[in-house]
């Protein structure tokens, strides 16, 4: 079930990760085709600001994935609502401050970014300033869209996410064409077009949060200081990750301007835009790894975490290998979308894009591992990987290789940096495990005392009533081996059979592929049974509440299970039903 869930979430997360990237890509194409190389260079100088504003959104989003993942995993509904309330308040505050700052200091900011001083001989300065002013108007929607994504993933609203991205993309294309063909608003209009498309995407997403069955609620008493601290603390690694990228872009812009002038900067702008689209695949895989690892870690589910490491690694290699092959094949047509009228810039960008694409597979693995490590609480490790991967290693390679190779040295720096970072991760894992092995268990980096020991845990996947009966019998035998009495062992087996058979009878009838995962842990005097399925939402606790006045002979199966449990909790996350019983 974890592998299937990962694949489903990965596709949606990749698409949602393209929300901002698609707007940037469309803007780049339209700017390059209709506004010229100077405008393209101005767009390149604007990139650090776009990344800088993405940083707080990414920080809050990452904090949500960790904190909300843990509260959902532990069944803390008040904590979940507090996380939602605090994240909404932080987003509103950052949006307001950022909007005012850029509008007031757009000119000095452009000079700081490398666009030069204002003057009649420097049109790039004014083009950069205009784009920033248009873009900043959409920052409230830009940040809101970022924090909505993890909440909609956790609630299983994957279809609505895709709809929001589709509307955003279509509206951005329409607004861009209106700008260049009708209103002729220049780079300001291009930034404003992206802003309007962000608002369109947010409008679709907000439809879920006003529904009665929304999993998340704004609460007046939800503005907790400890929750805000936890969100920011768990989001700091992502800020470090984003700021490292910002500094790398600034460094490479200056290197390229020194070795190749505005032409090389324009080529890098194209490569950066296409690379952001490629990075959406890596960040999509990594975001799913972060969300699932936080929940599995809160549940101390060792086997699920090891399965997650194996699944995310295989997905990263398979998906990004395909993306690499595609970019190598279509590099020249891709950059031709931006620089068709400038053969020299076109040739330079095509070469750079091909060399850059070689780093995508190690980049995907590095990104997946560091976000997984953040999810399990290895924050310092995540921060170290981020700085090395996104700044130190490629920056050093760029400074060294650009001297003899010029711009080509900068393109090769991406591959050198990502490969070196992956090598360092492997060395750290092998050192921590005191052995050299490429196993998911080793790369999971879980302490020996984490979770239940293998001999204290029984796990089984059920897809039919026959398998449910067999699972029940195996669970009874497992209980007896652990010194449980015959009566309690039979009761646990009966609970498993009753719940699993009900899920199969009523949940498998829609013709889709379903399964039921059973997990029983016995430690000391504690017996915890968790049953998870991927069928339609069904809360047995709420159902029994609604029918508590019915004939006592009705709903006997649910009544028997509830009576046998010391404590029962239900949660629907990622579109999965999770029923946990302490028997």
Q: Is 451 left (phi over 0), alpha (psi -120 to 50) or beta?
A: left
User: For residue 523, what are its two tokens?
Assistant: 């430690």
- The pLDDT value recorded for residue 367 is 94
Q: Is 291 left (phi over 0), alpha (psi -120 to 50) or beta?
A: alpha
Q: Which of 171, 156, 209 is nearest to 534 (CA)?
A: 156
- The pLDDT value recorded for residue 97 is 92
CA–CA distance, 191 with 131 (Å, rounded to integer): 5
Q: Are 266 and 37 in contact (CB under 8 A)?
A: yes
Q: Can you state the angle between helices 37-73 and 186-209, rounded to 10 degrees?
A: 20
Half-sphere exposure of 195 (CA within 13 A, CB side): 19
Q: Which of 71, 84, 70 is nearest to 223 (CA)?
A: 84
User: For residue 63, what are its two tokens?
Assistant: 């904090």
User: For residue 468, what are its two tokens?
Assistant: 């449910």
User: For residue 55, what are its two tokens?
Assistant: 């940083």
Give residues with Cβ within 8 angstroms of 249, minimum separation 6: 47, 48, 51, 272
Q: Which of 57, 62, 65, 63 is nearest to 98 (CA)?
A: 57
Instruction: Supply angle C-alpha 218, 224, 226, rounded to 5.
Output: 135
Q: Are 81 and 222 in contact (CB under 8 A)?
A: yes
- H-helix or E-strand spanning residue 458: strand 457-462
User: For residue 484, what are its two tokens?
Assistant: 């449980």
Q: How many other β-carbons are positioned within 10 Å of the β-carbon of residue 43?
A: 29
Each domain of the chain, given as residue ranges in start order, spans 2-442, 454-582
User: For residue 343, what are its two tokens?
Assistant: 């053969």
Q: Are 277 and 357 in contact (CB under 8 A)?
A: no
Integer CA distances (angstroms), 519 to 22, 301, 418, 460, in order: 41, 10, 38, 7
Q: Looking at the domain 454-582, which fold is it?
A: Heat Shock Protein 90 (3.30.565)
Q: In what order do the strands lie in the sheet with 516-523?
A: 457-462, 516-523, 526-533, 576-582, 567-573
Q: Are 374 and 288 in contact (CB under 8 A)?
A: no
DSSP state of 547: T
Q: Which of 376, 384, 364 is nearest to 285 (CA)?
A: 364
* pLDDT per residue as tens, the chain (583 positions): 778 888 888 888 787 777 667 777 777 778 877 888 888 888 888 878 877 787 788 888 888 988 888 887 777 788 888 999 999 999 999 999 999 999 899 889 888 888 888 888 888 899 999 999 998 999 999 899 888 888 888 887 878 888 888 888 889 889 989 998 898 888 899 989 989 998 998 999 888 888 887 888 888 888 888 898 888 888 888 778 877 888 888 888 888 888 887 788 888 888 887 887 888 899 889 988 988 888 888 778 888 899 999 999 999 999 999 999 999 999 888 888 776 667 777 888 888 899 999 999 999 999 999 999 988 888 889 989 999 999 999 999 999 998 888 888 999 999 999 999 999 999 999 999 888 888 898 999 998 888 777 788 898 998 999 999 999 999 999 989 888 888 888 888 888 888 888 888 888 888 788 889 999 988 877 888 888 888 888 877 776 666 666 666 556 667 777 777 778 887 777 778 888 888 7
Helical residues (DSSP H) of 210-301, grouped into ranges: 225-298
pTM of the entire structure? 0.77
**What stretches of 98-239 adopt beta strand conformation (E)?**
none
CA–CA distance, 278 with 555 (Å, rounded to integer): 52
Instruction: Supply angle C-alpha 402, 406, 411, rounded to 5.
Output: 70
- The pLDDT value recorded for residue 90 is 92
Pairing of strands 457-462, 516-523: antiparallel
Integer CA distances (angstroms), 152 to 13, 14, 20, 146, 160, in order: 10, 14, 17, 11, 8
Q: Are 284 and 365 in contact (CB under 8 A)?
A: no
**Structure-token match 């404590």, residue found:** 567
CA torsion angle for 543, 545, 548, 549 (degrees, to 10)? -100
């Amino acid at each position: 079930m974890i592998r299937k869930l990962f694949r489903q979430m990965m596709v949606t997360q990749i698409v949602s990760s393209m929300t901002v990237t698609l707007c940037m890509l469309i803007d780049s194409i339209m700017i390059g085709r209709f506004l010229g190389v100077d405008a393209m260079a101005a767009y390149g100088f604007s990139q650090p600001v776009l990344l800088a504003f993405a940083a707080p959104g990414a920080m809050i989003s990452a904090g949500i994935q960790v904190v909300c993942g843990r509260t959902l995993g532990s069944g803390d509904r008040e904590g979940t609502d507090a996380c939602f309330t605090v994240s909404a308040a932080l987003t509103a505050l950052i949006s307001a401050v950022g909007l005012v700052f850029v509008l007031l200091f757009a000119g000095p900011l452009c000079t700081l970014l490398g666009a030069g001083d204002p003057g009649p001989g420097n049109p790039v300065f004014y083009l950069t300033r205009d784009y920033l002013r248009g873009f900043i108007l959409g920052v409230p929607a830009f940040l809101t869209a970022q924090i909505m994504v993890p909440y909609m993933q956790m609630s299983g609203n994957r279809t609505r996410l895709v709809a929001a991205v589709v509307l955003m993309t279509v509206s951005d294309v329409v607004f861009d064409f209106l700008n260049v063909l009708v209103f002729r608003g220049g780079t300001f209009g291009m930034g404003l077009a992206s802003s309007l498309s962000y608002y369109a995407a947010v409008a679709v997403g907000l439809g879920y949060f006003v529904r009665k069955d929304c999993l998340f609620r704004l609460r007046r008493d939800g503005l907790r200081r400890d929750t805000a601290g936890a969100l920011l603390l768990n989001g700091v690694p992502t800020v470090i990750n984003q700021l490292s990228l910002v500094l790398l872009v600034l460094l490479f812009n200056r290197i390229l301007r020194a070795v190749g002038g505005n032409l090389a900067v324009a080529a890098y702008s194209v490569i950066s835009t296409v690379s952001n689209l490629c990075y959406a695949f890596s960040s999509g895989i990594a975001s799913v790894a972060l969300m699932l690892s936080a929940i599995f870690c809160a549940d101390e589910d060792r086997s699920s975490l090891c399965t997650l490491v194996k699944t995310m690694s295989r997905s990263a290699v398979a998906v990004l290998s395909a993306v690499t092959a595609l970019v190598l094949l279509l590099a020249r047509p891709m950059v031709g979308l931006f620089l068709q009228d400038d053969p020299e810039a076109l040739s330079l960008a095509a070469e750079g894009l091909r060399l850059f694409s070689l780093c995508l597979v190690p980049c995907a693995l590095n990104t997946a591992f560091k976000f997984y490590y953040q999810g399990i609480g290895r924050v310092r490790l995540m921060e170290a990987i981020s700085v090395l991967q996104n700044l130190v290693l490629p920056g050093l390679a760029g400074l060294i290789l650009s001297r003899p190779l010029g711009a080509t040295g900068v393109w090769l720096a991406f591959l050198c940096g990502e490969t070196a970072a992956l090598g360092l991760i492997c060395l750290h894992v092998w050192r921590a495990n005191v052995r050299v092995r490429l196993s998911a268990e080793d790369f999971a980096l879980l302490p020996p005392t984490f979770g239940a020991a293998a001999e204290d845990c029984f796990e089984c996947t059920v897809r039919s009533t026959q398998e449910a009966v067999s699972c029940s019998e195996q669970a009874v035998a497992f209980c007896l081996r652990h010194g449980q009495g015959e009566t309690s062992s039979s009761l646990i087996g009966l609970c498993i059979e009753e719940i699993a058979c009900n899920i199969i009878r009523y949940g498998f009838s829609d013709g889709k592929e379903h399964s039921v995962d059973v997990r029983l842990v016995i430690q000391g005097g504690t017996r915890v049974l968790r049953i998870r399925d991927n069928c339609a939402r069904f809360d047995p606790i709420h159902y029994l509440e609604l029918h508590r006045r019915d004939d006592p002979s009705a709903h006997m199966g649910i009544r028997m299970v509830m009576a046998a449990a010391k404590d029962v909790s239900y949660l629907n996350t990622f579109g999965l039903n999770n029923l946990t019983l302490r028997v």
